[in-house]
Amino acid sequence: MSDNQLITAHDKTFRPMISAETIAERVNTLGKQIAEDYAGKRPLLLAILNGAYMFAADLSRAIPIDLELTFVKLSSYKGTSTTGKVTTVLGLDTDLKGRHIIIVEDIIDTGKTLTNFFKELDKEEPASVEIAACFFKPEALQHPLSIKYLGFEIPNRFILGYGLDYDGLGRNLADIYELNV
């Protein structure tokens, strides 16, 4: 990856931020940690679509123990009551009761998405729930979350690549790019 290689998606320009090699190294380390922590527990990795598909593929291959991996899609809508935002979970057909769950998320920004998801998961009475997130913007966090397995802390900037898109483009980039301002 050349440092001065700018790319364009729609109307915006992005510059390189984290190389595919650096990501691979970090993901492999996370995989080893998870394998040690979950040996004999057959964890269930719940990867959040769409953005986490690439991280989930790499992370799961870096965990050399028995595990299950499934994908869910979260859609949020405003409830009609005062409860406000409600998260619905699409595509989850696995019984979570008593399972050791690792949520696999691309990036945590405000933390709103996962905070809502956590509440939904709790109702299913899993044995444990932890988070594996590839990227985290601490400056943007509004809902406190404890991220057990974190790839990279990044500044509060919009990033693209490694599964993350800008209006549909850029998911297939192997490196991470940041908005060039």
- Applying the rule CB under 6 A, the residues between 73 and 102 that interact with ligand 5GP are none
Give me 93's structure tokens: 């057909």
Interface residue with ligand 5GP, options 16, 31, 43, 111 (CB under 6 A): 111
**Which of these ranges, 22-30, 58-66, 78-86, 155-163, lies near ligand 5GP under the rule CB under 6 A?**
155-163
- Number of alpha carbons in the 13 Å side-chain half-sphere of residue 36: 6
Are 147 and 110 in contact, with CB atoms under 8 Å apart? no
The one catalytic residue among 3, 11, 95, 109 = 109
Is-catalytic flag, 122? no
Q: How far apart are CA 5 and CA 177, in angstroms?
A: 10
Q: How far is the CB of 166 from ligand 5GP (least distance, A)?
A: 6
The whole-angstrom distance between residue 118's C-alpha and the CA centroid of its chain comes to 14
Name which of 60 and 113 has its Cβ closer to ligand 5GP: 113
- If binding is defined by CB under 6 A, does position 160 make contact with ligand 5GP? yes
Q: How far apart are CA 86 and CA 55, in angstroms?
A: 26
Give me 22's structure tokens: 């650096």
Name which of 105 and 175 has its Cβ closer to ligand 5GP: 105
Are 178 and 17 in contact, with CB atoms under 8 Å apart? yes
My answer on whether omega of the bond before 50 falls inside 30° of 0, hence cis, is: yes
Name which of 30 and 160 has its Cβ closer to ligand 5GP: 160
| Number of shown-chain residues binding ligand 5GP (CB under 6 A) | 16
Interface residue with ligand 5GP, options 27, 67, 131, 159 (CB under 6 A): 159
What is the number of other CB atoms lying within 10 angstroms of the CB of residue 103? 24
- If binding is defined by CB under 6 A, does position 108 make contact with ligand 5GP? yes
- If binding is defined by CB under 6 A, does position 113 make contact with ligand 5GP? yes
Residue 129: partners with Cβ closer than 8 Å, 6 or more residues away: 101, 102, 103, 118, 121, 122
- If binding is defined by CB under 6 A, does position 51 make contact with ligand 5GP? yes
- Catalytic positions are 109
Residues that bind ligand 5GP (CB under 6 A): 51, 105-113, 158-160, 164-166
